[in-house]
Structure 1
Amino acid sequence: MGDVERYIGVAERRARLALRHRLAGPARARDPEEVAASLVALHGTDPATVYLAVAARLADPASTVPETSRALYEDRTLVRMHGMRHTVFVFPTELTAVVHASTGLAVAARERTALLKHMASAGAPDAVWLKEVEESTLAALARLGQATAAELAKEEPRLREQFVYAAGKGYEGVHTVSTRLLKVLGVEGKVVRGRPRGSWTSSQFRWAVAPAHPELDPAEAQASLLTRWLTACGPATEADLKWWTGWRVTEVRRALSAIGARQVSLDEGVGHVVAGDVDPVAEPAEPWAALLPALDPTAMGWQQRDWYLAPELRPALFDGSGNVGPTVWWNGRVVGGWAQRPDGEIVWRILDTEGVGRDAEAAIAAEAERLRGWVGTTRVTPRFRTPVEKELGA
């Protein structure tokens, strides 16, 4: 990777973020596919996050819901599947093979081993039985096109079988085969989340057979994924890369070497960018504001976040598990939080007033109105609630 080439300061990192994450006005995207390609992955744990994250980056958000639904469920140019850190994301479909080989295979092996271990300890049927149920389930899903777990259980009744998990322990529970098996099939890249049963905010998903993809060499896939992510999010430290991918540090270093990444100096220490991305990046011509949703990929993009989020703001804006809530941005940094009230009003609070004057407040108000305009009568409550969001949304 060579010597450290130059220092990249906070101002330039924020400029890169504004442009590459489609947040500054002139950089906004035309459609959901362009947004997803720019960010590599959209957090999909909370279904509403996908739509809110897309809308915040579209030049015209009015068509967010139909266009994002089209991409996910009709054209299938976007796919919701398990990815890094065993988290559900929405990826461009052409990335599914890369994600599966680079991050999914290792997680899948652990998940299947854990399921078989838990079933064996509970006296449940063995691996041969589970394989039969799996094959029958996939065949049923292929026939049905999309189906919920309950609908699949009508085709394959053995999915209703239950077993006791961690018997005699404080966290003992009863697991259903369908829940655990579909999860395993998801991380193995055999099934993906399909159309929800309700609106775009619903978390009750159908399942669908995963789109066919080639089997890639894991090391080559890791190099490919790292190239895409560093292009969108570089510079980043080794700690950022290890956290985002969920890989071992040896895998991160191997991938950095494979792509010929360049080293730069950051306030946190040594950072990395892709080859050819060392030159300075100018700030956007105009200041910008954004209201980003809970779990937004920009707010959650780095492990080391002090360059865009002051540490003193974290207790108000994150839940106890480290999930970020809705955030207000001004010129590349988080300055507050926002929420939607039961009557549909979008409200916000500035927590960091440095540099936030009348122009900033007017821009933030315009973004709030922009958001209210396309959300309409839909009410959005984050799946993981944070102190500021709960207070504002009351």
Structure 2
Amino acid sequence: MRSISRRSISAAERRARLALRHRLAPAVRTDDVVEIARSLVALHATDPATVFLSVAARSRAATPALVEKTLYDDRTLLRMLAMRRTMFVVPVELVPVLQASCADALAIKQRRTYSRFLEQAGVVDGDIDGWWRDVENATHAALLARGEATGAQLSKDEPRLRTQVDPAPGKSYSRPTSITTWVLVTLGVEGRIVRGRPNGSWISSQYKWSPIEAWLPGGVPAMPADEARAVLLRDWLWSFGPAPVSDLKWWTGWTLGEVKKALTLLDVTEVDLGGTTGVLLTDDLEPVAAPDPWASLLPALDPTPMGWQARSWYLGDHGPALFDKNGNIGPTIWWDGRIVGGWAQRKDGEIAMRLLEDVGADAEAAIEAEAARLPGWYGDVRATPRFRTPLERELTT
């Protein structure tokens, strides 16, 4: 890493970068769904609706059907657990990077956790790890034979998936559960199976499962973890940089040592972020001109507001109204690189909005125009964010 340069990057320039790199300014919007995902490294997918609404905000005329085609017919995007044990939709070429940098370590943790539950329950005689791997292999073979299946269908093929375990015996909130989901999640983070098309509309989270070969015929290519971390940080810095190292640590969920080691494999330069030291790719130090003022309505958990841990330069003091107690952001209104309010879809389909500061008549008109785009995207679908935030609840009361 090069020492701090004379280059200072203001909050205004960071907002300009955000507008262009995240395809939020109208001039850089596109109907190429994969390019939208690449622009953000990955699309947040904990709430299925977020994927579709994040595309809506950055496209000109894309539709939910186009996103579904990209995911399930073209299969150029794939849904997987990765950073911070969070669900993302990612371009298929990034899958080896996320597998090696995030998912492989997550698979070890998942297996360790579930094995402990099995040991506590005493439902397996002998080698728990061997038993678990045997169940995994049998489940994978059953899925290969079917081509696509739900967990319920696979549990008919492999009866051991119906094994009941109480993960917190003696606790009032604990209930015996089958290990079906545990096995499928582990196979998923190991890169052997994929969440496919849901049972329902684009807001459904009840997925069918498919073998990884349905997306990547040869499976997930192996990649050294150190190299994969460096590639992921390079992509993140292009899309989200500059930023303090603490933001990279938070977004990836890695240790500080892992982040710093990955940075040594990149050509990055320290820059001044108005009293805070940030890092930026050395070949990305040229100033970025601001686009024309722009408005956007971003969904709950959108990758842009969830991209940094230090958010004051675009969030201001609006956090209490827009975040829940666990750090999940709700739907937000943006004006020229700053969050200025929130919005929600009511049961009748109306888009309700509230500005949290005075933005002027021109901005209000641009925001209204963005809001007018959403009913056509939703159609008859009504989507309540998975994590409710104070302002979103107020707007739908």
Whether these two folds match at TM > 0.5 is yes
1:253 match = 260
Give SS of 1:221's match.
Answer: helix
Counterpart check, 1:229 vs 2:236: yes
Runs of 4+ aligned residues of structure 1 deviating over 4 Å after TM superposition are none
Q: Distance in 1 between matches of 2:297 and 2:110?
A: 36
The within-5 A match list for 1:16-35 is 16-35=17-36
Deviation (angstroms), 1:60: 1.6
Give SS of 1:4's match.
Answer: coil
Q: Distance in 1 between matches of 2:334 and 2:44?
A: 18
Higher mean C-alpha deviation, range 14-23 or range 129-138: 129-138
Higher mean C-alpha deviation, range 263-272 or range 83-92: 263-272
- 2:167 alignment partner AA: Y
Deviation (angstroms), 1:249: 0.5
2:159 match = 157
- TM-score (norm: length of structure 2): 0.96
- 2:311 alignment partner AA: R
Paired positions, count:
388
2:287 match = 280
Counterpart check, 1:341 vs 2:346: yes
Give SS of 1:195's match.
Answer: strand
- 1:127 alignment partner AA: D
The within-5 A match list for 1:313-392 is 313-353=318-358, 356-392=359-395
2:3 match = 3
The 8 Å contact of residues 194 and 205 in structure 1, kept in 2 or not, is answered as: yes
- 1:149 alignment partner AA: G
Match of 2:168 among 160, 166, 172: 166
RMSD: 1.1
Q: Distance in 2 between matches of 1:148 and 1:310?
A: 44
Q: Distance in 2 between matches of 1:357 and 1:385?
A: 28
Deviation (angstroms), 1:374: 1.9
Higher mean C-alpha deviation, range 87-96 or range 185-194: 185-194
Q: Distance in 1 between matches of 2:210 and 2:357?
A: 44
Q: Distance in 2 between matches of 1:174 and 1:292?
A: 39
The within-5 A match list for 1:128-207 is 128-169=130-171, 171-207=173-209
The 8 Å contact of residues 56 and 290 in structure 1, kept in 2 or not, is answered as: yes
Q: Which runs of 5+ in 1 are unaligned?
A: none
1:60-114 Cα shifts (integer Å, max 9, x gaps):
23xx211111111111100000010110000000110000001111111111011
- 1:344 alignment partner AA: G
Q: Distance in 2 between matches of 1:333 and 1:173?
A: 44
1:177-236 Cα shifts (integer Å, max 9, x gaps):
101111112222222211000000111111111231211000000001111111000001
- TM-score (norm: length of structure 1): 0.96
2:107 match = 108
The 8 Å contact of residues 333 and 343 in structure 2, kept in 1 or not, is answered as: yes
- 1:187 alignment partner AA: V
1:333-375 Cα shifts (integer Å, max 9, x gaps):
000000011111111000122xx11111111110000111221
Deviation (angstroms), 1:168: 2.2
Higher mean C-alpha deviation, range 166-175 or range 364-373: 166-175
